[in-house]
Amino acid sequence: MLTIDVAVLLAVVVIVRLRRRTQARSRFDEKLTVVIVLALGVLIAPTAAGQGILNILEQLTDGITQASR
């Protein structure tokens, strides 16, 4: 039995959609891509990988904040 992780499937869909030329995208197509990326973010957020990404972003924003002071 083959199982496919939904997050991996959405990541592949996002990569395929983003590889298309910008001129070939309609407004609806761009909105759909945003919705798919948001759904991917919601699926990744509670995982260990999502927590690692969150920690990296927090360190980056803390560094930028401290550098601007």
Q: What is the pLDDT of residues 3-35, one digit of tens each?
A: 567 888 888 888 888 887 777 778 888 888 888
CB distance 8 to 40 below 8 Å? no
- On whether residue 34 sits in a domain, the answer given is yes
In total, how many domains does the chain have? 1
Residue 52 lies in a domain: yes
Give a yes or no: residue 1 inside a domain: no
For residue 32, is it within any domain? Answer: yes
CA distance 56 to 51: 9
The predicted structure's pLDDT at residue 18: 83
Statement: the pTM of the whole predicted model exceeds 0.95: no
Evaluate whether residue 39 is within a structural domain: yes
Residue 26 tokens read as 């309609």
The answer for 52, left when phi > 0, alpha when psi is -120 to 50, beta otherwise, is: alpha
Q: Among 9, 8, 6, 33, which residue's Cα sits nearest to residue 19? A: 33
